[in-house]
Amino acid sequence: MNIALLTPGTGSYHCGVCMRDNALAKELHRQGHRALLLPMYLPLTLDETAASPSAPIFFGGVSTYLREKFPLLRKMPRWMDRLLSARWILKMLAGRAAAKTGGPEVAEMTLSMLRGEMGNQAGELRELVAWLKTAFDGKPPDSVWLSTALQAGLARSLRDELKVPVVGFLQGEDTFLDGLGSRAPEIWSLLAERMRDADSWVAPSKYFAELMAARLRWSNAEAAQRMRVIQNGIALEDFDAEPEQPHSAPTIGYLARFVPGKGIGVLVDAFIILKKRNTIPGLRLRCAGSMTDGDARYTDTLREKLAAAGCAGDVEFLPNVSREEKIRFLRGLDVFSVPATASEAFGLYVIEALAAGVPVVQPRAWAFPEIVNEQAGVLFDPGKNSESAANALSDALEESLRDPACLRACGAAARDLAREKFSLHGMAAAFVRLAGSLGAETANVPARH
């Protein structure tokens, strides 16, 4: 199958969605398919080699922004668009753009992108469609996959012009949309309509499929027709190749972006509680993950809190690690936790820890109960605020760390669980089966106007 996968790039920091899409494209290659991973807005920042290193960037972030802000530039000549979409320019501006990828100031652009062929970037959409018509030896792809519901405005043109199925992924869009201020209700309403232009949407968990159906105000019948659940997977062989790392002190690990919503602040508070109890001698905390300039400022406040508690020397922050460093990092942990405080559609970091044979301690919330069983980790009740979450987390971590034999058994069960349920091979095969089943249906459906 020939597949075009459109994914938004960040340009400056590791994004779990980008890395998942890149891994998926590479797995599709291994399974004998031709998959083109096409970045939108900014170049991809990955922790491994790119699946499609020479692919053009569509909807270049600079020109897309200028078209939205300055009506006279909506008909800018193609040579100017190409110049503004040069990778070196996008890379140079990516760090500044990373701080402007959410909040009310991007609400208008989000609306415009969802309007698709009627939005301010309609010319760029036509260019994308024209390019895709001959992308595979002069022919269009057999299906187009959209990385997020925020690309739903592209679906109608892609489906009608290319005559192929369009499949979209759901990736935690609710948190982003709720941060768009007063325009959020209007955007949710438009999203519900434009998502109907795709053939199917795939959620990584039952929790998030149900949440999105409710937020979109789709009936149970419509949600059942339009949504599927396919859990995420990872390249498990990479974790088998890396031996367990020796570590003399009991170590708690965190692997996610350094932002409040992922719960790194809660974990720091729980660690301080444990250090004050002093029931786990020599306890250490290691935090790895993506970090922008804005995230660094937040991380500095956590360092100050640790210093005030007298345990800054027991904590490491490791931003923007490579894939090899990430796996080595995970293999050196005793227990793992990302105590997210906001809605999590899945939590790719959890299955990475499981694959490394590390027991996890996660909130009994969001999608985590669908991923973690009692043999591979612990689910704790976070309560109603960050203080109660920190206390509950510290108790769960202490209980796990005080029983080394149980911890080792949990680690083995974690590894087995990852191999049983979360392989990249199985995830990719499920996506291909879904796209293939939709192909014949799409060919017989007339265009929607």
The answer to whether residues 438 and 319 belong to one domain is no
The answer to whether residues 374 and 430 belong to one domain is no
Question: Do 134 and 101 form a contact (C-beta atoms < 8 A)?
Answer: no
Identify the CA nearest to 40 among candidates 133, 132, 124, 156: 124
Q: What percent of the chain has pLDDT over 90?
A: 74
| CA gap 124, 60 in Å, rounded | 9
Question: Do 316 and 286 form a contact (C-beta atoms < 8 A)?
Answer: yes
Residue 449: is its pLDDT beyond 50? Answer: no
**What pLDDT was estimated at residue 91?**
53
- Dump pLDDT digits (tens) for 138-184: 999 999 999 999 999 999 999 999 999 999 999 999 999 999 999 99
Beta-carbon contacts of 323 under 8 Å, excluding residues fewer than 6 positions away, are 47, 48, 238
- Structural domain boundaries enclosing 87: 2-233+425-443
Beta-carbon contacts of 172 under 8 Å, excluding residues fewer than 6 positions away, are 208, 343, 344, 345, 346
Question: Residue 86: which pLDDT band, with cuts at 50, 70 and 90?
Answer: low
Question: Do 162 and 443 form a contact (C-beta atoms < 8 A)?
Answer: no
| H-assigned helices in 133-248 | 155-162, 173-178, 184-194, 206-216, 220-226, 236-241
Would you say residue 376 lies in a domain?
Answer: yes
- Dump pLDDT digits (tens) for 105-122: 789 989 999 999 999 889
**What pLDDT was estimated at residue 85?**
57
Report which DSSP code applies to 439. H
Report which DSSP code applies to 259. S
The answer to whether residues 295 and 435 belong to one domain is no
φ and ψ of 355, to 5 deg: -60, -30
| CA gap 332, 309 in Å, rounded | 25
Joined together, the tokens standing for residue 78 give: 């193609």
Average pLDDT across the chain, whole number: 89
Q: What is the mean pLDDT of residues 382-386?
A: 96
State pTM to two decimals: 0.90
The answer to whether residues 193 and 260 belong to one domain is no
**What pLDDT was estimated at residue 8?**
87
**What pLDDT was estimated at residue 330?**
97
The answer to whether residues 162 and 81 belong to one domain is yes
For position 369, which CATH number holds? 3.40.50.2000
Identify the CA nearest to 19 among candidates 218, 310, 290, 299: 290
| CA gap 255, 291 in Å, rounded | 11
Beta-carbon contacts of 167 under 8 Å, excluding residues fewer than 6 positions away, are 143, 144, 145, 146, 198, 199, 200, 201, 202, 431, 434, 435, 438
The answer to whether residues 418 and 438 belong to one domain is no
Burial class (CB in 10 A: 0-12, 13-18, 19+), 269: buried
Q: What percent of the chain has pLDDT over 70?
A: 86
- Dump pLDDT digits (tens) for 433-447: 999 999 856 555 555
- Dump pLDDT digits (tens) for 232-286: 999 999 898 777 777 789 999 999 999 999 999 999 999 999 999 999 999 999 9
The answer to whether residues 106 and 121 belong to one domain is yes
Identify the CA nearest to 224 among candidates 242, 244, 201: 201
Would you say residue 281 lies in a domain?
Answer: yes
Question: Residue 66: which pLDDT band, with cuts at 50, 70 and 90?
Answer: low
How many structural domains compose the chain? 2
Would you say residue 390 lies in a domain?
Answer: yes
Residue 88: is its pLDDT beyond 50? Answer: no
Looking at the chain, how many residues does it have? 449
